[in-house]
């Protein structure tokens, strides 16, 4: 049974004097290490300065040289939503700056794999670029950059992933996570790094009076924040103070209708209202549709949607992306059923607890969906998971997802050092990583992985935890508080949306849709009744007709139906109280 743990609040460190914030929201912020109202300022002038990024001046001077000579630039991105938004951002904004020869190339994951590989450089060379600029990749592309130099192509790397022991020999690297970089936020997504590069370039061009001399209107980079917000949320990077500003400002503009046609079209096919948009809509509505292109087809489709200036064309592409996402869902559900059977067999055959880290493989699994599969199994079994799929020949591609307390990229690095040659290639960051193995080495790797994870997680960690911000009083279940909580974000990775826990009388329960549980909950000694919904329940456990009293972990939400607004609990965990 998962544990319910209440987040700790050091009351003496909370300094919201003369604040209009509700006591509940003050408690929520304090539990997330926010202790002063100034930390909640989400205006653009509070962004960290671009000057702190290592090599930013050098990169800017290279771009100015490219601009003056009108060299040919090819943007090479990753095949996920961060890569797509990064690519669309640089292509669209560099063109507005006056670059006349800017195009993009995104590797097909099934043919070329991740990053600037030698193979994708050969494809890039056919377009005869003078420069390649990577976005959301490149920090581990030693061989690809060497290949580009053989062709006489210069390379600028913009990335956010953790570097290896050595850096590639690019002309310049912008990455807040590279050694000696003083930029205070190490959590920038790839699209955030690209945005900062544009900030620096615009500032330098203004100093040179470039825009006036060339009769070009200086681009308003605030218009690009819809892309920055989408890529940042979809990549599930930690929403530290700097990222919260970027996401908040992007959401703010989208709520006002200030967004590019491609994002408007993605909102439409996702059935999301721009006026009520929150970060989770980007993460669960738009992000998966963009990612579906890279998982099943070609991410160029997603980038074209984001670059389109014609709403009807964007709608057509968005419909294609939505159809791909539906296909991805079906594939993912089938793979999840297979994976759960594999885990259950592991448990039964060993007659003991499962390994601390799980490695799962089936020859039929789709290479583009194993990341989602790893996430789902991780959520079910509360431990790091790597799902593998067959690539070319005897090579397996793995996608890893981790839990709190385990840096998965560092874990792979340790295994690589202790077992040289076992892993062919790996890279990533704390919570997600990718790797490749020879198929014959999978059993050895699986054992090494489980052993390494066991050093970091104890038995309690493996039971799963639901974190709560405490109980709410009967008078706190209000539309006003629900709205304050909704607007108090943006919430996301490392800045989780507020959850609460409590015991309730279970008055009514029924299935709606296919596997959602609609509930009515009551309080002892009160006539107050609350509506609640629990999505994607285990139908073997619910409805439970014997349950009269339950303990729930939930979020406070506003349900809007037929122009009526009511408080509703979104159940995250439900257990019977005996």
Q: Which DSSP string corresponds to 306-341?
A: HH---HHHHHHHHHHHHHHHHHHHHHHHHHHHHHHH
Residue 8 reports pLDDT greater than 90: no
Residue 10 reports pLDDT greater than 80: no
> Quick one: pLDDT at residue 38?
83
The per-residue DSSP string of 346-389 comes to HHHHHTSPPPSSEEEE-TT--TTTHHHHHHHHHHHHTS-EEEEE
Q: What angle do CA 127, 128, 131 make, to 5 degrees?
A: 110
* Paired tokens of 191: 């699209």
Confidence of residue 79 (pLDDT cuts 50, 70, 90): confident
Beta pairing, strands 154-158 & 131-135: parallel
List the one residue out of 171, 249, 194 whose CA is nearest residue 77.
194
> Quick one: pLDDT at residue 457?
85
* Paired tokens of 567: 């408080």
**pTM (2 d.p.):** 0.89
* Paired tokens of 490: 């943006």
Q: Are 144 and 80 in contact (CB under 8 A)?
A: no
> Quick one: pLDDT at residue 11?
60
Compute the distance between CA of residue 521 and CA of residue 56 in angstroms, rounded to an integer: 56
> Quick one: pLDDT at residue 110?
65
* Sign of the CA dihedral running 10, 11, 17, 23: positive
Compute the distance between CA of residue 360 and CA of residue 373 in angstroms, rounded to an integer: 10
Residue 113 reports pLDDT greater than 90: no
Task: Please identify which residue in the block is written with the tokens 């198929």.
Answer: 439
> Quick one: pLDDT at residue 299?
85
Query: What are the backbone dihedrals phi and psi of residue 152, each rounded to the nearest 5 degrees, phi first?
Result: 80, 20
The DSSP symbol for 460 reads T
Using H for helix, E for strand and C for coil, what is the string for 469-518?
Answer: CCCCCHHHCCHHHHHHHHHCCCCECCECCCCEEEEEEEEEEEEECCCEEE
Residue 158 reports pLDDT greater than 90: yes
Q: Are 236 and 492 in contact (CB under 8 A)?
A: yes
> Quick one: pLDDT at residue 351?
41
Residue 12 reports pLDDT greater than 60: no
Compute the distance between CA of residue 539 and CA of residue 537 in angstroms, rounded to an integer: 6
Q: Is 353-463 a CATH 3.50.50.60 domain?
A: no
2-13 per-residue burial string, b: 16 or more CB within 10 A, e: under 16:
eebeebebeeee
Compute the distance between CA of residue 526 and CA of residue 503 in angstroms, rounded to an integer: 13
> Quick one: pLDDT at residue 15?
59
Q: Are 94 and 113 in contact (CB under 8 A)?
A: no
> Quick one: pLDDT at residue 257?
93
The per-residue DSSP string of 89-143 comes to HHHHHHHHHT-SSEEEE---TTTT-SSS-HHHHHHHHTT--SEEEEES--TT-HH
> Quick one: pLDDT at residue 458?
80
The Cβ-side half-sphere exposure at 457, using a 13 Å CA radius, reads 30
* pLDDT per position as a tens digit, 329-381: 899 889 999 999 888 887 655 445 788 999 999 999 998 899 999 999 998 88
Q: Where are the domains of the chain?
A: 45-321, 353-463, 466-576
Residue 93 reports pLDDT greater than 90: yes
The DSSP symbol for 59 reads H
- Of the two residues 3 and 269, the one the predictor is more confident about is 269
* pLDDT per position as a tens digit, 497-545: 999 999 999 999 999 988 899 999 999 888 899 999 999 898 888 999 9
Bond into 490 cis (ω within 30): yes
What is the helix (H) or strand (E) element at residue 531, kind and residue range?
A: strand 529-534
* pLDDT per position as a tens digit, 199-249: 999 999 999 999 999 999 999 999 999 999 999 999 989 999 999 999 999
User: Helix (H, G, I), strand (E, B), or coil: what is residue 399?
Assistant: strand
* Paired tokens of 267: 């909102």
Which long-range contacts (C-beta less than 8 Å, at least 24 apart) are formed by 33-41? 39/241
Q: Taking the chain, what is the end-to-end CA distance rounded to the nearest angstrom?
A: 14
Mean pLDDT, the chain, as a whole number?
91
Confidence of residue 429 (pLDDT cuts 50, 70, 90): confident
Say what angle helices 81-97 and 287-296 make with each other, to 10 degrees.
100
Compute the distance between CA of residue 263 and CA of residue 257 in angstroms, rounded to an integer: 10
Spelled out in words, what is the top-level CATH class assigned to the domain 45-321? alpha beta
Query: What are the backbone dihedrals phi and psi of residue 234, each rounded to the nearest 5 degrees, phi first?
Result: -65, -25
Q: Is 466-576 a CATH 1.10.580.10 domain?
A: no
Q: Are 300 and 109 in contact (CB under 8 A)?
A: no
Beta pairing, strands 385-390 & 358-361: parallel
Burial group, residue 459, by CB count within 10 angstroms (0-12, 13-18, 19+): exposed
* pLDDT per position as a tens digit, 430-474: 888 899 999 999 999 999 999 999 988 887 778 888 999 999 999
Query: What are the backbone dihedrals phi and psi of residue 341, each rounded to the nearest 5 degrees, phi first?
Result: -65, -40
* pLDDT per position as a tens digit, 402-413: 988 899 999 999
Q: What is the mean pLDDT of residues 48-57?
A: 97
Say what angle helices 287-296 and 261-269 make with each other, to 10 degrees.
90
List the one residue out of 567, 536, 538, 572 whose CA is nearest residue 552.
572
């Amino acid at each position: 049974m998962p544990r319910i743990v209440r987040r700790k609040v050091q009351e003496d460190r909370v300094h919201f004097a003369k604040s209009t914030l509700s006591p509940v929201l003050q408690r929520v912020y304090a539990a997330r290490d926010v202790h002063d109202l100034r930390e909640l300022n989400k205006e653009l002038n509070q962004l960290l300065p671009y000057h702190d990024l290592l090599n930013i001046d050098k990169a800017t001077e290279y771009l100015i040289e490219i601009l003056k000579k009108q060299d040919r630039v090819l943007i090479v991105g990753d095949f996920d939503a961060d890569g797509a938004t990064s690519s669309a951002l640089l292509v669209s904004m560099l063109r507005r700056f006056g670059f006349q020869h800017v195009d993009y190339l995104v590797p097909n994951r099934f043919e070329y794999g991740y990053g600037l590989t030698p193979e994708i450089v050969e494809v890039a060379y056919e377009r005869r670029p003078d420069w390649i600029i990577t976005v959301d990749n490149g920090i581990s592309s030693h061989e690809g950059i060497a290949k580009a130099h053989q062709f006489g192509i210069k390379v600028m790397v913009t990335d956010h992933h953790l570097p290896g022991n050595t850096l590639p020999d690019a002309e310049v690297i912008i990455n807040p996570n590279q050694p000696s970089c003083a930029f205070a936020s190490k959590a920038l997504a790839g699209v955030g790094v690209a945005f900062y590069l544009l900030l620096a370039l615009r500032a330098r061009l203004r100093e040179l009076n470039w825009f006036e001399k060339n009769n070009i209107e200086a681009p308003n980079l605030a218009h690009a924040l819809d892309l920055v917000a989408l890529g940042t949320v979809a990549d599930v990077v930690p929403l530290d103070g700097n990222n919260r500003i970027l996401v908040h400002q992007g959401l703010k503009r989208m709520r006002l209708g200030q967004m590019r046609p491609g994002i408007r079209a993605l909102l439409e096919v996702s059935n999301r209202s721009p006026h009520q948009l929150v970060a989770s809509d980007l993460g669960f509505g738009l992000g998966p549709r963009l990612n579906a292109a890279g998982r099943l087809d070609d991410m160029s489709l997603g980038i074209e949607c984001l670059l389109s200036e014609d709403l009807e064309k964007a709608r057509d592409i968005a419909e294609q992306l939505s159809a791909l996402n539906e296909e991805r869902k079906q594939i993912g559900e089938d793979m999840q059923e297979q994976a759960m059977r594999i885990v259950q067999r592991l448990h039964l055959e060993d007659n003991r607890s499962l390994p601390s880290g799980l490695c799962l493989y089936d020859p039929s699994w789709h290479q583009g969906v194993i990341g989602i599969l790893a996430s789902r199994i991780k959520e079910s079994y509360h431990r790091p998971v790597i799902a593998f799929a067959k690539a070319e020949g005897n090579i397996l591609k793995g996608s890893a997802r981790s839990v709190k307390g385990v840096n998965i990229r560092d874990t792979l690095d340790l295994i690589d050092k202790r077992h040289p040659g076992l892993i062919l290639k790996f890279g990533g960051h704390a919570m997600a990583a990718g790797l490749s193995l020879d198929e014959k080495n999978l059993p050895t790797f699986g054992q090494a992985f489980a052993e390494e994870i066991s050093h970091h997680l104890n038995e309690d960690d493996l039971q799963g935890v639901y974190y709560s911000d405490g109980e709410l009083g009967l008078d706190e279940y209000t539309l006003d508080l629900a709205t304050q909580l909704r607007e108090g974000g943006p919430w996301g990775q490392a800045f989780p949306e507020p959850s609460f826990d409590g015991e309730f009388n279970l008055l009514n329960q029924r299935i709606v849709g296919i596997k959602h549980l609609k509930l009515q909950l009551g309080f002892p000694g009160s006539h107050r009744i609350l509506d609640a919904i629990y999505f994607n329940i285990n139908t073997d456990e619910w409805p439970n007709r014997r349950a009269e009293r339950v303990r729930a972990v939930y979020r406070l939400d506003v349900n809007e139906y037929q122009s009526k607004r009511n408080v509703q609990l979104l159940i995250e965990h439900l257990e019977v109280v005996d």
